[in-house]
Amino acid sequence: MIDWKPEIRARQAAWIARRRDLHQHPELAFQEVRTAGIVAARLADLGFEVQTGVGRTGVIGILEGASEGPTVMVRADMDALPIQEENAVDYASQTPGVMHACGHDAHTAIALGVAELLSERRDQIAGRVKFVFQPAEEIGQGAAAMIADGALRDPAPDVALGLHTWNESPVGRIALVDGPMMAGANDFTITVHGRGGHGAVPHEAQDPILAASQIVNLLQSIVSRNITPVEGGVVSVTYFHAGDSFNVIPSAAVLRGTIRAFRPELRDLIEARMRAIATSTAEALGCRAEVQLAHLTLPVINDADVNARLRPAFAQARPDLTLVSNYQAMMAEDMSYFLDQVPGTFFFVGSSNPARGLDFPHHHPRFDIDDEAVVPLAVELMASAVAAYVLPDGE
């Protein structure tokens, strides 16, 4: 197998500097113009065939090997979040109200590092590597936009690989999980229509606040009474708005929230129960409920055969790591759209370092990763994963 370590040692300082530069210049979903420019320029320097503007601000770079073989896709996301950074580091965000608080700056730097390493082995590659830098992961739209623009055609990938730096775990812990790994996310809005009136004469009104309150309570029965306890799901009401006066019963109440599930069948069950509870409860109390559901992302479902190929590659490259196979997260990821169409895997690379205070959760204003440790490590893992498919020595 290939030992990437000498090349990694020579290049890692530049990769970390690139991650910090991206961190200083975060860009929101579909606004990743500077980031995409840096990515496209670097891929062109490496002699890749580059396409820009795929899914608005996405970039694709194809590394053509020397002989025939599979097409391996490496996916990285590029966007930041509307959060004001609270870290006092010299590479803190220079854009007020925008921050790389999920690690997508690192993902972009890591994938470029992998591109550099593999480009040096071009003469030995059997097949090709398709690097997909996607926009707008945080709003769950970038992957779908790139797919709509043909990202999975010409050439169609045989396998899709992605990773997420993961602050829930320390550096050195890797989660490579067969099957469902991250939940699908869905939004709901329930509008309860009643009849407004004076707060002192409730019998002449149809109170939507009372009906909506019952609905909030009964929605909690879905996970506890309709879903098998060994699976689980989430129904969270996160918004309840009604009325704006102390003595007026309003005419409507609005509930919003999120549904998470690891299987589409469970999601469908949750949604069916939600519709039934909302409409019949509202009706029982003289009101009428309108339920709107939106599917944001699919669950992330990893292919066991792909993982079986990666596991020995990871273990050989880095026998010092802890490889976990039974980890699941309720958070959502639009890598799921690629994995819905291409067999592949999405793995978590532990990135926290509690001793240095680098263990704030994702999307926190003080989120930061131990980039000096995790960037070179993640490059090594992803390069080894790709090598397991396209570099004959890599197996």
Of 101 and 118, the one with the shorter C-beta distance to Ni ion is: 101
132 near Ni ion (CB under 5 A): no
83 near Ni ion (CB under 5 A): no
Q: Could you write out the DSSP letters of every residue in 366-387?
A: T----HHHHHHHHHHHHHHHHH
CB atoms within 10 A of CB 119: 17
Q: How far is the CB of 102 from Ni ion (least distance, A)?
A: 4
Of 8 and 176, the one with the shorter C-beta distance to Ni ion is: 176
Is 140 in a helix, a strand, or coil? coil
Catalytically annotated residues: 79, 137
189/210 Cα distance (integer angstroms): 17
78 near Ni ion (CB under 5 A): no
38 near Ni ion (CB under 5 A): no
104/31 Cα distance (integer angstroms): 14
Among 102, 215, 255, 381, binds Ni ion (CB under 5 A): 102
The number of C-alpha atoms within 13 Å of 174 and in the hemisphere containing its C-beta is 26
201/195 Cα distance (integer angstroms): 12
DSSP percent split of the chain into helix, strand, coil, nearest 5: 35, 30, 35
Say which residue the tokens 């939940």 belong to: 183
- Do residues 149 and 58 touch, judged by C-beta distance below 8 A? yes
Of 102 and 298, the one with the shorter C-beta distance to Ni ion is: 102
Stretch that binds Ni ion, among 99-107, 193-201, 283-291, 320-328 (CB under 5 A): 99-107
352 sits in which H/E element: strand 344-352
CB atoms within 10 A of CB 272: 12
- Residue number closest to Ni ion, CB atom: 102
Rg from Cα positions in the chain = 24
Stretch that binds Ni ion, among 98-106, 195-203, 289-297, 373-381 (CB under 5 A): 98-106
Stretch that binds Ni ion, among 102-110, 143-151, 153-161, 286-294 (CB under 5 A): 102-110
Q: How far is the CB of 336 from Ni ion (least distance, A)?
A: 12
Q: Per CB under 5 A, which of residues 197..256 are in contact with Ni ion?
A: none
Q: How far is the CB of 136 from Ni ion (least distance, A)?
A: 11
How many residues contact Ni ion, by CB under 5 A? 1
Of 271 and 371, the one with the shorter C-beta distance to Ni ion is: 371
Residues that bind Ni ion (CB under 5 A): 102
